[in-house]
Amino acid sequence: MSDQLSVIHLVSEASLVVQLVMLSLVLASVTSWVMIFQRSFFLRRVERDLNDFEDHFWSGIDLRELHDELEAEATLTGIENVFVSGFKEYSRLSETTRNEPDAIMQGVQRAMRIALTREGERLETHLAFLATVGSTSPYVGLFGTVWGIMNSFRSLANMK
């Protein structure tokens, strides 16, 4: 009796449609957990880099010196990218607009807004997939359950 109720036996005796539904749910679950852990590690690293940059920024260092240090690095993190973009635009506009403060600030804000948008997109990677899996998985599972129940009723109807 217990052999017929084992998970392996139940899965192997299920119809092809139910097996495909279960397989798709398992694959979606494994993929989701991989993405969740990857995002978790990535966001922790981003938070650590943000705190390091903030400490360095507010330490009283000259901003031009900070910019030069960051330019020398091979890879920049999110907040560093935003700072470098704003400072580059500030330097470029300071030389060309003859000290019009409003024009300089608007250009710097625009450059920083673009960099911030790019960094936000990078932080939101895989969220659409996770949201889709989270919202559709119950319905896919319900479909598999209904399909299995329909087959059970058909089998009961065919018994004499």
Q: From CA 135, how far away is CA 86, in angstroms rounded?
A: 39
Give residue-wise pLDDT tens across range 85-110: 999 999 888 887 676 888 889 989 99
For the record, the structure tokens of 52 come out as 């390091």
Residue 39 has pLDDT above 90, yes or no: yes
79: CB partners within 8 A, 6+ apart: 49, 50, 53, 54, 119
Backbone angles phi, psi at 106, to 5 degrees: -65, -40
Closest listed residue to residue 86, CA positions, set 56, 58, 60, 64: 64
Kindly report the average pLDDT of the chain as a whole number: 88
Q: From CA 102, how far away is CA 110, in angstroms rounded?
A: 12
pLDDT at 94: 85
85: number of Cβ within 10 Å: 21
94: number of Cβ within 10 Å: 15
Give residue-wise pLDDT tens across range 45-86: 999 999 999 998 899 888 889 888 888 887 888 889 999 999
Q: From CA 31, how far away is CA 110, in angstroms rounded?
A: 37
Length of the chain: 160
For the record, the structure tokens of 137 come out as 């998985």
